[in-house]
Amino acid sequence: MESLVAKFNSLGITDVLHYEKFNLISISHHSTKIEGSTLTELETQILLDDGLTPKGKPVNDTLMVTDHFKALHFIIDKAKNQIPVTTELIKEINAVVMKSTGGIYNTILGEVDASKGMFRKGNITAGVSYFPNYDKVERLTNELVKFINTSMNNNLSIDEKLNLSFDAHFNLVSIHPFYDGNGRTSRLLMNYIQAFYNLPLAIVNSEDKQDYIQALIDTRENENIELFRTFMKNQYEQYLLKEIKKFEEGFSSKSNKGFSFLF
Name the binding residues for ATP.
180-187
How many helices, marked H, and strands, marked E, lie in the chain? 10, 4
Residue 105, H or E segment: strand 104-107
Instruction: Provide CB contacts within 8 A for 109, sequence distance 6+.
Output: 121, 122
Reply yes or no on whether 176 is catalytic: yes
DSSP 170: H
Instruction: Provide CB contacts within 8 A for 192, sequence distance 6+.
Output: 75, 76, 78, 79, 85, 93
The amino acid at residue 121 is K
Catalytic site residue from 29, 30, 169, 176: 176
d(CA 77, CA 83): 9
Positive or negative, the Cα torsion across 91, 96, 97, 98? positive
- Distance in Å from the first CA to the final CA of the chain: 44
Contact 5, 200 (CB under 8 A): yes
Question: Which residues are annotated binding-site positions?
Answer: 180-187
Render 111-145 in DSSP notation, one character per residue.
Answer: EEEGGGTPPPSS--EETTEE---GGGHHHHHHHHH
Q: What are the residue numbers of the active site? A: 176
